[in-house]
């Protein structure tokens, strides 16, 4: 339509062009397309200039000035967001460098949104804020942001036709998982699951959060149902190898800690001896999760020789990879694993001698995603499970 209006203007069909421009402006207003508004108004100004209509020329020019001002603020917000985004997609070192600057950046983006009052400006502020809260582990702030965003869309503060409600719902469920608000998280996960098309890539990603909420809540019957639904889905083979590997780990953890220990699921071959995944080279990722999985597997088998061999690997891993403060939870838990071997698998001694480390683990918050090692099952739950295994082996 813009191209047609341009063609009509240069053909001196000003009345027809202006009629089309009015339609363009109505659509651009409906969907909050600032750039299209500017282009349409520029065409209208040109038409009124050629027609010699000074009254409508001045009125339209004033409107164009106002929209141009909004577009400039919107453009600044978009460029800031894209600069942040490119840094976040780089190494963990780049993310660390960016972190101290983000509060001021978010403050600036909020001001630009208030100035522009456009969806693009809001989106830049919204996504940058979520990224910052995620990196710093402020997941309660993400819950607040996502709930507010839904309200703003419903009230028309932001354009509901441009607002990606499904993305917002996905983030809301994820934030409840990371903030350890499992009961509310499960309610939201169940409520929103029908919003995602079953078998689509986003559905599989959503189901990961849903499954982990159930696993962290010890809702093993829900875990079993979700696993079956995901692994039996005909589109499972289409998801990335990284995603398949995550599901393999989730399934293995479920089988280890579930009291039902269901055998009706097709367990991937040898999940406990998974090699460290390639995709974890630049972040801790699932490395510790795999080490823990291997350890518990050999503990259940009562293979003391394999466990003795593994404590040296754990000690080396702690010294090499877990030296930063944000790795404290993983370091504390691996030390508890080492304790079980050095204390000859005596549950009572491990419970007593490990109490100080265990309490420190409880008091240490989960780090944000700038640093996070994924806890498929909270370490506190795993330690109780390990003591349970040792108690059973002693009886």
The mean pLDDT of 282-295, rounded to a whole number, is 76
Q: Supply the pLDDT for residue 369.
A: 57
Q: pLDDT by residue (tens digit) across 26-63?
A: 999 999 999 999 999 999 999 999 999 999 999 999 99
pLDDT band at 175 (very low <50, low <70, confident <90, very high): very high
Q: pLDDT by residue (tens digit) across 39-49?
A: 999 999 999 99
Q: Supply the pLDDT for residue 364.
A: 87
pTM: 0.82
pLDDT of 250 higher than 80: yes
Average pLDDT taken over every residue of the chain: 89
Q: Supply the pLDDT for residue 366.
A: 76
- Three-state SS string over the chain comes to CHHHHHHHHHCCCHHHHHHHHHHHHHHHHHHCCHHHHHHHHHHHHHHHHHHCCHHHHHHHHHHHHHHHHHHHHHHHHHHHHHHHHHHHCCCHHHHHHHHHHHHHHHHHHHHHHHHHCCHHHHHHHHHHHHHHHHHHCCHHHHHHHHHHHHHHHHHCCCCCCCCCHHHHHHHHHHHHHHCCCHHHHHHHHHHHHHHCCCCCHHHHHHHHHHHHHHHHCCCHHHHHHHHHHHHCCCCHHHCCHHHHHHHHHHHHHHHHHCCCCCCCCCCCCCHHHCCCCHHHCCCCECHHHHHHHHHHHHHHCCCHHHHHHHHHHHHHHHHHHCCCHHHHHHHHHHHHHHHHHHCCCCHHHHHHHCHHHHHHHHHCCCCCCCCCECCCCCHHHHHHHHHHHHHHHHC
């Amino acid at each position: 339509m813009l191209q047609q209006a341009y063609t009509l203007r240069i053909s001196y069909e000003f009345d027809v062009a202006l009629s089309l421009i009015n339609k363009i402006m109505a659509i651009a207003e409906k969907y909050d397309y600032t750039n299209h508004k500017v282009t349409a108004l520029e065409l209208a100004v040109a038409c009124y200039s050629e027609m010699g209509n000074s009254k409508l020329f001045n009125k339209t020019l004033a409107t164009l000035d106002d929209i141009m001002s909004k577009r400039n603020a919107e453009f600044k917000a978009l460029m800031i967001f894209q600069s942040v985004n490119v840094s976040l997609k780089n190494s963990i070192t780049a993310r660390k460098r960016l972190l101290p600057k983000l509060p001021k950046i978010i403050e600036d983006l909020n001001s630009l949104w208030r100035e522009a009052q456009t969806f693009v400006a809001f989106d830049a502020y919204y996504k940058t804020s979520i990224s910052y809260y995620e990196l710093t582990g402020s997941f309660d702030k993400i819950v607040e942001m996502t709930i507010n965003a839904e309200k703003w869309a419903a009230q028309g503060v932001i354009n509901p036709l441009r607002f990606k409600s499904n993305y917002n719902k996905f983030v809301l469920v994820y934030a409840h998982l990371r903030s350890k608000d499992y009961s509310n998280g499960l309610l939201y996960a169940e409520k929103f699951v029908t919003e995602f098309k079953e078998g689509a890539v986003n559905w599989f990603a959503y189901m990961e959060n849903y499954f982990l909420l159930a696993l962290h809540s010890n809702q093993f019957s829900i875990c079993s149902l979700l696993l079956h639904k995901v692994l039996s889905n005909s589109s499972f083979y289409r998801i990335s190898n990284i995603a398949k590997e995550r599901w393999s780990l989730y399934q293995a953890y479920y089988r280890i800690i579930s009291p039902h220990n269901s055998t009706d699921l097709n367990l991937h071959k040898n999940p406990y001896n998974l090699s460290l995944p390639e995709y974890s080279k630049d972040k801790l990722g699932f490395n510790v999760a795999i080490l823990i999985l291997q350890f518990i597997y050999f503990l259940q088998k009562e293979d003391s020789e394999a466990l003795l061999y593994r404590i040296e690997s754990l000690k080396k891993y702690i010294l090499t990879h877990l030296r930063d403060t944000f790795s404290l939870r993983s370091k504390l838990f691996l030390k508890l694993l080492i304790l079980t071997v050095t204390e000859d698998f005596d549950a009572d001694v491990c419970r007593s001698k490990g109490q100080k480390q265990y309490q420190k683990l409880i008091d240490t918050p989960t780090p944000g995603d700038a640093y996070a090692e994924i806890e498929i099952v909270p370490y506190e739950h795993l330690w109780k499970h390990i003591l349970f295994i040792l108690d059973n082996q002693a009886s």
